[in-house]
Amino acid sequence: MTLFVKLAWRNLFRNKRRTILAGLMIGLGLAAMITTDAITIGTIDNMIATATASFLGEGQVHRENFRKTFEVEATIVNGPALFEKLKKDPLIRQTAPRTAAFGMITSPANVQSVMLYGIDPTYERDLSKIDDLLVSGGYLATADEPKILLGEKTADLLEVGVGDKIVVTVAQAHTGELSQELFRVGGIFKFGSRQMDGGMAFIPLKRAQEMLKLGNNLHEIAFSFHDKLKSEDKSLPLWGDLSAGGNEALPWTELVSELAMMRSMTDFSLFLVGIILFGIVAVGIINTLFMSLYERMFEFGVMRAVGTRPRQAAQLMVMEAGALSLIAIVMGIVVAIVVNGLLLHYGIDYSGSEFVVTLRDPIYPVLTAKQFTVYPFLLFIFTCLVGLYPAIYAAKLTPAKAMKRGL
């Protein structure tokens, strides 16, 4: 065994240029695989972070079916108590109470329908990024001041700016009677999403509850976890507790199911990319090994003549494939570190682009231990398996024919 390992390793360096080129080709395949995976994870993480940290949260509680009907009276059962409970839950990092209802905003110039959210400025500041995304004016100071935050597109349509007066009209709970109130534009935000910037407005929670005649009831409680992976763990008892009594608690994967679906689709596309890359690598390995075998045909004949078994000849070819993959793995990891190092430094700027969400920050690759252990290991196994083809060919050579062909 040691003899064949020695032979395989030394044979590989008989034609250094070919080995380096073949190693580089296989290594580049590995580097491409690592980088594609890292960027995919980075993109998805970026999208998830954008979606959950902007306003959504990592989970939300509503009254059952509220998200389908948006009926004003469909408030969360024991909403305030549930909110207090969530605040004390050790798993929960932040939570924010909200109301949500369709409303009409009227300015002297125009009228626009919006999804009107009542928010508590203090809790909301920690959970969402509304305050960070203001492009003019200021954030809401208290939970009951008569100020409204408008999206940039809504403000443009209504032809209003900070300090201007507008009238908000909503339908009250149970009676359906219209309730109107005058607000001043306190600030204008820009999420970068047409849907949010042209269809959402925020007023203080207490004002919203009064206008909608909700008492202290809530339509929505958004929350985030200390460990964001917990948000995807549907086996947590928390989800069941929050969903009791006619409520519905959903993680972000169900609130924006397109994002979760996209993530599984990228897993599949990564698998396809892997197959294509490994396919190219396979052709390269087979080509290199056959070239090496044809060059040494006579030598193989001699080795077989002096007593090397067919299986041992095959073993030698597989070991050469394995040795080649080890060199390729080192090269691939070095290339991957360099490429991903540059990408980590500069990022890939897709800010402003809308996929499922609107990306705001540059995409950075996310490097994981799996990329540097599992992928190289798979490459090594794959290379050895691919090496079986020339190995079987070598094993089937009859010594006399091999020596004749080698001449």
Partner 1 sequence: MEQVIRIEKVSKIYRTGEVTVEALKEVSLTVAKGEFSAIAGPSGSGKSTLLNIVSGLDKPDGGTVELGGRAMTAMSASDLSDFRRDHIGFIFQSYNLIPVLTVEENIEYVMLLQGVPKKERRERVAKILTEVGLDGMQTRLPIHLSGGQQQRVAVARAIVSRPDIILADEPTANLDSKTADALLDMMQELNAKHGVTFLFSTHDQMIMDHARRLITLRDGRIFSDEVRG
Give the span between the Cα atoms of 356 and 155, in whole angstroms: 24
Residue 294 engages partner 1 in binding (rule: CB under 8 A): no
**Is residue 344 a contact residue for partner 1 (CB under 8 A)?**
no
Residue 10 as a binder of partner 1 (CB under 8 A): the answer is yes
Cα distance between residue 31 and residue 44, in whole Å: 20
Stretch that binds partner 1, among 159-167, 184-192, 201-209, 310-318 (CB under 8 A): 310-318
Are the CB atoms for 321 and 312 separated by under 8 Å?
no
User: Residue 392, interface with partner 1 (CB under 8 A)?
Assistant: no
Q: Which is nearer to partner 1, 16 or 68 (CB)?
A: 16
Residue 19 near partner 1 by CB under 8 A: no
Among 52, 94, 308, 340, binds partner 1 (CB under 8 A): 308
C-alpha span between 190 and 153 (Å, rounded)? 8
Question: Interface with partner 1 includes 302 (CB under 8 A)?
Answer: yes
405 in contact with partner 1 (CB under 8 A) = no
Residue 398 in the binding site for partner 1 (CB under 8 A): yes
The yes or no reply on residue 307 touching partner 1 (CB under 8 A) is yes
The identity of residue 294, as a single letter, is: Y
Helical spans, DSSP H, in 347-387: 369-386
Identify whether the C-beta of residue 124 lies closer than 8 Å to the C-beta of residue 115: no
Residue among 305, 334, 342, 381 that touches partner 1 (CB under 8 A): 305
Selected range binding partner 1 among 148-156, 294-302, 354-362, 380-388, rule: CB under 8 A: 294-302
311 in contact with partner 1 (CB under 8 A): yes
Provide the CA 253 distance to its chain's centre, in angstroms. Answer: 11
Nearer to partner 1, 11 or 36 (CB): 11
**Distance from C-alpha of 319 to C-alpha of 371, rounded to nearest angstrom:** 24
Q: Could you tell me the smallest distance in angstroms from the CB atom of residue 302 to partner 1?
A: 4
Interface positions, 22-51, toward partner 1 (CB under 8 A): none
- The answer to whether 393 contacts partner 1 (rule: CB under 8 A) is no
99/315 with CB nearer partner 1 = 315
For 92-216, list the strands marked E by DSSP: 92-106, 111-119, 134-137, 147-151, 165-171, 178-189, 200-204
The binder of partner 1 chosen from 304, 318, 356, 375 (CB under 8 A): 304
Q: Are 212 and 79 in contact (CB under 8 A)?
A: no
DSSP β-bridge partners for residue 117: 100, 202
* Distance of alpha carbon 327 from alpha carbon 11, whole angstroms: 13
